[in-house]
């Protein structure tokens, strides 16, 4: 398993993602957004940041970068794609994931740890996670307020495509545990096939106990196990 970490103008979490991947034994390379090729066996990572300065809407301009054609093909061929924070916003704008990330209901930029209830264990990214133990992972965003219409939300839930929900430390989904106003406390969603994940929290910033926690690694481990690589 190798990873391609995409870099748009304004991406800032690429180094963090590469560091986190290195810690679980996944070599990675940076891919500039003007490139047009991705290898089939690569994990594609859209990291956090402020691509194109978040002009117009978060992710709205990055989705037209040349590399996004390759991301579309990669996803259509069943390749693994994860979008974190701004990467999640780009995947939504690109139509690879449903819904949109809006301004936080509080209007505040939130930089804090959150707890995540694992709501789906059927995807490559989540199959190895323990739903009894919420993950503690930081968020860092001003526009993470997930929104989709009711019919879309029902469809997502019926298909088990809500990967993570904001919950309290004991795993209970409450309004108080919701840091940004996301509908139904949604923190991460999957595409229909389960090979594309978008999430606002930053697993790459919870990869080392010296940095406050390593719960984020569970997502990478799960993904590695799904492709038959033992990483523990």
75, 118 in Cβ contact below 8 A? no
Q: Which helix (H) or strand (E) holds 135?
A: strand 135-141
Which residue lies nearer to another protein by CB, 13 or 178?
A: 178
| Smallest distance, another protein to C-beta of residue 95, A | 10
In the block, which residue shows the tokens 């490559």? 124
What is the C-alpha separation between 108 and 194, in angstroms, rounded?
31
| Smallest distance, another protein to C-beta of residue 156, A | 13
Which residue lies nearer to another protein by CB, 98 or 201?
A: 98
Which residue lies nearer to another protein by CB, 81 or 101?
A: 101
- Which of the residues 167, 204, 207, 221 is marked catalytic? 204
Q: Which structure tokens are listed for 151?
A: 């019919």
Contacts of residue 76, Cβ cutoff 8 Å, sequence gap at least 6: none
Tell me, yes or no, if 33 is annotated catalytic: no
Burial status of residue 19 (CB atoms within 10 A of its CB: 0-12, 13-18, 19 or more): middle
- Which of the residues 17, 58, 85, 92 is marked catalytic? 85
CA 201 and chain centroid, separation: 7
Q: Which residues bind another protein (CB under 8 A)?
A: 56-57, 60-61, 64, 93, 98-100, 102-107, 147-149, 181
- Which of the residues 92, 202, 207, 221 is marked catalytic? 202
Tell me, yes or no, if 115 is annotated catalytic: no
Tell me, yes or no, if 204 is annotated catalytic: yes
Which residue lies nearer to another protein by CB, 182 or 226?
A: 182
Catalytic residues: 85, 202, 204
């Amino acid at each position: 398993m190798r990873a391609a970490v995409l870099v748009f103008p304004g991406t800032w979490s690429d180094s963090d993602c590469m560091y986190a991947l290195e810690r679980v034994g996944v070599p990675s390379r940076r891919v500039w957004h003007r490139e047009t090729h991705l290898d089939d066996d690569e994990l594609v990572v859209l990291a956090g940041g402020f691509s194109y300065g978040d002009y117009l809407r978060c992710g709205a301009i990055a989705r037209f970068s040349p590399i996004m054609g390759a991301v579309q093909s990669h996803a259509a061929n069943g390749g693994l794609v994860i979008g974190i924070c701004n990467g999640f916003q780009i995947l939504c704008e690109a139509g690879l994931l449903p819904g949109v990330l809006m301004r936080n209901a509080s209007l505040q930029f939130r930089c804090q740890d959150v707890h995540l209830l694992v709501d789906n264990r059927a995807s490559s990214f989540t199959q190895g996670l323990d739903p009894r133990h919420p993950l503690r992972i930081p968020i860092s965003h001003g526009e993470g307020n997930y929104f989709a219409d009711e019919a879309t939300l029902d469809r997502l839930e019926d298909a088990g495509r809500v990967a993570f929900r904001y919950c309290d430390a004991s795993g209970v989904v409450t309004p108080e545990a919701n840091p940004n106003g996301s509908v139904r406390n949604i923190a991460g969603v999957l595409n229909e096939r389960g090979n594309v994940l978008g999430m606002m929290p930053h697993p790459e910033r919870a990869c080392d106990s010296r940095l406050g926690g390593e719960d984020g690694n569970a997502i990478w481990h799960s993904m590695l196990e799904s492709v038959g690589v033992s990483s523990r």
